[in-house]
Amino acid sequence: MSVRVQAWGIIAAVLADTDPAGTAVRQRLSNSLDENPGVPERALLEYLLETRRSDANMVETLESARGMRLTPPALPPQFAEQLDAIRSTSRISTLLQHQMLMTAFQPIYGLEGKTVVGAEALSRFVSDDGAAAELWFAEAAAVGLGANLEFSALGSAAAAAKDLPENLYVSLNISPTSCLDARLPELFDHIELPIHRVVLELTEDIPEEEYLQFLSAINPLREKGLRIAVDDTHTGAGALSRMIHLRPDFLKVGRNVIGDIDKDGLQRALAACLVDFAESIGVTLVAEGIETVGELKVLTELGISAGQGYLLGRPSVRPKDWSTWNTRLDLDGLERQLAAPGETRAIPRGTEIS
């Protein structure tokens, strides 16, 4: 049930009450509806907040008169739950309306040629609370606005990509469910970023019940040049078998595979198996979260095609940073800069690599 339908249900219940004692309450709600025509959730939110403020003011007055410490009355549980949902809807709607998001790009290096081959787009939100991107997307999904926020982020990233070097592919994060949305093919009719430069990076595993529908929706776009990336964190046995059928263009492996790969033989063996698997099905293997020179050396020796991480370059919202990504990676220079002889040190998170 949508927030709007739920709001109408609460409003109808309040207005249907015939108790004379509630006349003033009903009038306040009616006034709020008049001030917010066609937006019942906002009308209800303002009504509830005003009621809450009135109750708090009354308690404060009684407190002063009696010298007592009182607590404002709590909203009924069913109203409190709806109020949280309406607040979230209002926050996300405001964010979408005012386009309060930016795009950061992180470089993806080809490890053999040691040059930048692509960039992953990462959303950054302009907000007072500094909430992380995943929290915004989770909140939007909880109130039925997840796809709206995803497409807003896709549009923002596509627009920002005009300042990237033209030879780079651009990896855009999207949920498999949003790939079924009719807005996806329409997106490529309205952005300047050519479809052959776009890689859709799936943020979740494809639900079993949506798999065939997903293929039906995405294959016409792939025929036009769109490419797909999947994350190894969603590769159970069933997902691996479907991956063989899906044949993504990129398989991304994270810290669970590459962390301390230069020190852990089992990690190295696992990565080697993934290299063989990727070569067998014609997939480009990308290592995420590379943090040390030692990890980078082993990944290069194993034949992993590409990599990204704080060692190679942090996400940046500044086009002047992106313009430098055509320079060749100096692995030996990095090692001399970051480690004394015989040592391999991680780059502290937050350190820029120039």
Query: What digits encode the pLDDT tens for the residues 208-250?
Result: 888 899 999 999 999 999 999 998 654 454 556 667 778 899 9
Tokens for 328? 């060749």
**Residue 96 contacts residue 149 (beta carbons within 8 Å):** yes
CA distance 192 to 157: 11
Report which of residues 185 and 345 the model is more confident about: 185
Helix (H, G, I), strand (E, B) or coil at 12: helix
**352 occurs within a structural domain:** no
**178 occurs within a structural domain:** yes
Last residue of a domain, one of 72, 94, 116: 94
Is there a single domain that holds both residue 168 and residue 74?
no
**343 occurs within a structural domain:** no
Is there a single domain that holds both residue 139 and residue 229?
yes
Q: Supply the CATH number for residue 206's domain.
A: 3.20.20.450
**Residue 158 contacts residue 189 (beta carbons within 8 Å):** no
How many percent of the chain have pLDDT more than 70? 70
Is there a single domain that holds both residue 107 and residue 182?
yes
CA distance 228 to 232: 13
Is there a single domain that holds both residue 303 and residue 195?
yes
CA distance 8 to 29: 12
Question: For residue 295, is pLDDT > 90?
Answer: yes
CA distance 144 to 235: 27
Is there a single domain that holds both residue 235 and residue 159?
yes
**353 occurs within a structural domain:** no
Is there a single domain that holds both residue 60 and residue 126?
no
Is there a single domain that holds both residue 231 and residue 279?
yes
**345 occurs within a structural domain:** no
Last residue of a domain, one of 68, 94, 120: 94
**273 occurs within a structural domain:** yes
Please count the structural domains in the chain: 2
**Residue 258 contacts residue 299 (beta carbons within 8 Å):** yes
Q: Which structural domain range is residue 76 located in?
A: 3-94
Is there a single domain that holds both residue 88 and residue 167?
no
CA distance 211 to 220: 15
CA distance 264 to 274: 16
Range 158-191 burial, b when 16+ CB lie within 10 A, else e: bebbeebeeebbbbbbbbbbbbebeebeebbeeb
pLDDT of 237 reads 46
Is there a single domain that holds both residue 257 and residue 148?
yes
CA distance 305 to 285: 5
Question: For residue 264, is pLDDT > 50?
Answer: yes
**347 occurs within a structural domain:** no
Tokens for 62? 């009684």
Of the listed ranges 78-92, 94-108, 309-323, the least confidently predicted one is 78-92
Averaged confidence pLDDT in the chain: 79
CA distance 314 to 296: 15
Is there a single domain that holds both residue 118 and residue 249?
yes
Is there a single domain that holds both residue 164 and residue 289?
yes
| Eight-class DSSP state of 316 | B
pTM, 2 dp: 0.72
**255 occurs within a structural domain:** yes
The residue type at 197: R
**For residues 194-205, average pLDDT:** 94
Last residue of a domain, one of 29, 59, 94: 94
Is there a single domain that holds both residue 183 and residue 241?
yes
